[in-house]
Amino acid sequence: MAEGKTLSAVPKAPGKGGRKARYQNKGRQVEPIAAREIAALLGSRSRQSDLLLEHLHLIQDTYGSLSVDHLAALAEEMRLALAEVYEVATFYHNFTVVKEGESKPAALTLKVCDSLSCEMAGAMTIKQKLIKKYGGTIRVTHGACMGRCEIAPVVRLKDRYVGNATIGDVDALIEAAKKNNPLSLPDFTSFDDYKDAGGFSTHAKLRAGDLVVDTIIEALNESGHRGLGGAGFPHALKLNSVLSVPGPRYMAVNADESEPGTFKDRYYLNNNPYQFLEGMLIAAEIVEAERIYIFLRDEYPETYQILSGCIEKLKAEKLDSGRKIYLRRGAGAYICGEESAMLESIEGKRALPRHKPPFPAHVGLFGRPTLINNVETLYWLPDIIHKGPEWFKAGGRHGGKGFRSFSLSGHVKKPGVYITPAGITAEELIEEFGGGMQDGHDFRAYLPGGASGGLLPASMADIPLDFGTLEKHGCFIGSAAVIVISDKDDLKMVARNLMRFFEDESCGQCTPCRAGTEKALRLMEAEHWDSDLLTELSAVMRDASICGLGQAAPNGLMSIFKHFPEAVK
């Protein structure tokens, strides 16, 4: 019998104890119209289960939302249980599921980013004005960080964004979306320009055998190069860990930067994608990865188009060594920053972090040993190998090694991505690169590592921003997303914003995080905060949560208790 099929019931003779015959399969029946629509939409595409998110994107891109009829038809096409398809579709923020009995949402949906940088820039005021103006015809809702914190506040409509948003800007955005013109792509370094400047020469030497893997790993170890997605794990150790397990091996690139305040990966991918891709191919050669999966956040549609074209160019130039390179769209889930949750998402599932051990380096994507890297980690690889570890180490300051890419936002004159010496201080970053504080604002506090990295007062802005320098203060550098807070900001608002983000993004797998963030936010809505209860609750989240989301969720709150107790009484 085919999987997922049931036999029709055999009619029983009427009489005592009998029942009415059932002549159809159990469960929700697939509507013929929906079945035809989904079959036509998928066409010749594979129905393998790991493409579930890709197919859900295709349906929503076409129809604007996901109806239950379409989900049932998709489950039938992919030979999956409807419950499995439904739980995945409802897990991710960027999918709009129209539930049974609900009316289809408005044709257009405006999402107003409510991350900390955007709220400090007036996002809530913009949102209320949009609701008042368009509430009857256009759906206006909140959106998590959109990776454009340098132009806060940000409003999204489908795959289009407007930064430093005003009501007039949003009006123009709506008109542009109705015309459905192609996306305009940023200028980026072309393949020919990158190659003419020496690009892919390191990769070529490795393929030709002129570079030895052990030599490369030793150079990375000597340089002090670390993973730059947040955890800072030494790159050489990660490569050796993957190599310690027999193949076949895979590789996964996490380009789903969702930490509020972080937008450095978008900067690299939109400006010089081929340097990242060369670094990716070098790492794949080192561990002999048979497949490469790039997991890109859904909020970067222009980046998706750029990478799609670049990957095709790599294939045409035969630089991929015959490896399969897959570009997968995320669907709006901060939890995918946790490496095993990202793997679950690539496999077409809910992004629930796995229990460890085993670690993904040994048992990762589809059960294979998997090398997992961040975009910036791979971006530096060609330069470190070509120029040597001494060049990289010399880039630091105040004892730091190498270079760091800071996403700078908040109340500075020149927010943006800045490549600086590792170990630079927040004060130096603001003055040397950010142009100083905005007029009328005095420097009060800063987040050194995005929403999860804690918060420090301006009086501690002389601490080197690097791995190992902030932990003793209850903070960490993470993805190097520095958000600058001024004397005009309400620190209770800051703390609520951060906790609201974690409450919204909790995957729900473990009780300490799921219930803890919700309870903490409810306590923080009160006029007077119960500091003892919030501290106890924070300790439970830190000690008992499965992954870093729940463990880091209280960092901002506890930092404010520590450094600004007068602000939260």
What does the pLDDT look like over 238-290, one tens digit per residue? 999 999 999 899 999 999 999 999 999 999 999 999 999 999 999 999 999 99
Structure tokens at 62: 């076409």
Helices (H), 180-272: 191-196, 201-208, 213-223, 235-243, 264-271
Residue 9 pLDDT > 50: no
φ/ψ of 537, rounded to 5, equals: -65, -40
pLDDT at 25: 67
pLDDT at 21: 54
State the pTM of this model.
0.93
pLDDT at 27: 72
Contacts of 213 (CB under 8 A, 6+ apart): 206, 285, 286
pLDDT at 16: 52
Q: Are 282 and 213 in contact (CB under 8 A)?
A: no
User: Where are the strands (E) in 91-219, listed by range?
Assistant: 97-98, 109-113, 139-143, 155-157, 160-162
pLDDT at 10: 47
**DSSP character for 565?**
G
Confidence tier at 100 by pLDDT (50, 70, 90): confident
pLDDT at 180: 82
**If you average pLDDT over every residue of the chain, what do you get?**
93
pLDDT at 179: 85
φ/ψ of 292, rounded to 5, equals: -125, 130
Q: Cis before residue 357, ω within 30 degrees of 0?
A: yes
pLDDT at 461: 98
Residue 12 pLDDT > 60: no
Confidence tier at 1 by pLDDT (50, 70, 90): very low
Residue 480 pLDDT > 60: yes
420-446 residue pLDDT tens? 999 999 999 999 999 999 999 999 999
37-52 residue pLDDT tens? 999 999 999 999 999 9
Measure the CA–CA gap between 156 and 184, rounded to whole angstroms: 15
pLDDT at 407: 98
Residue 484 pLDDT > 80: yes
> Which range, of 19-33, 52-66, 278-292, 382-396, averages the lowest pLDDT?
19-33
Decide: helix, strand or coil at residue 8: coil
**DSSP character for 326?**
E
Q: Give the chain's length.
A: 569
pLDDT at 231: 79
Confidence tier at 520 by pLDDT (50, 70, 90): very high
Structure tokens at 194: 């990158």
Residue 292 pLDDT > 50: yes
**CB-side neighbour CA atoms (13 Å) of 351:** 28
Can you tell me the mean pLDDT for 3-18?
A: 48
pLDDT at 366: 98
- In the chain, pLDDT over 70 holds for what percent of residues? 96
**Residue 196, amino acid:** D
**DSSP character for 90?**
T
140-198 residue pLDDT tens? 999 999 999 999 999 999 999 999 999 999 999 999 888 888 888 999 999 999 999 99
Residue 23 pLDDT > 80: no
pLDDT at 569: 77
Could you tell me which of 36, 34, 151 has the C-alpha nearest to residue 98? 34
User: Where are the strands (E) in 298-426, listed by range?
Assistant: 324-329, 370-374, 403-410, 416-421
- For residue 235, the surrounding DSSP H or E stretch is helix 235-243
Measure the CA–CA gap between 103 and 221, rounded to whole angstroms: 57
Confidence tier at 104 by pLDDT (50, 70, 90): confident
Within 10 angstroms of residue 471's Cβ, the number of other Cβ atoms is 11
Measure the CA–CA gap between 221 and 206, rounded to whole angstroms: 18
Could you tell me which of 417, 331, 336, 419 has the C-alpha nearest to residue 372? 336
Measure the CA–CA gap between 503 and 142, rounded to whole angstroms: 14
Place of tokens 């804690």: 454
Decide: helix, strand or coil at residue 331: coil
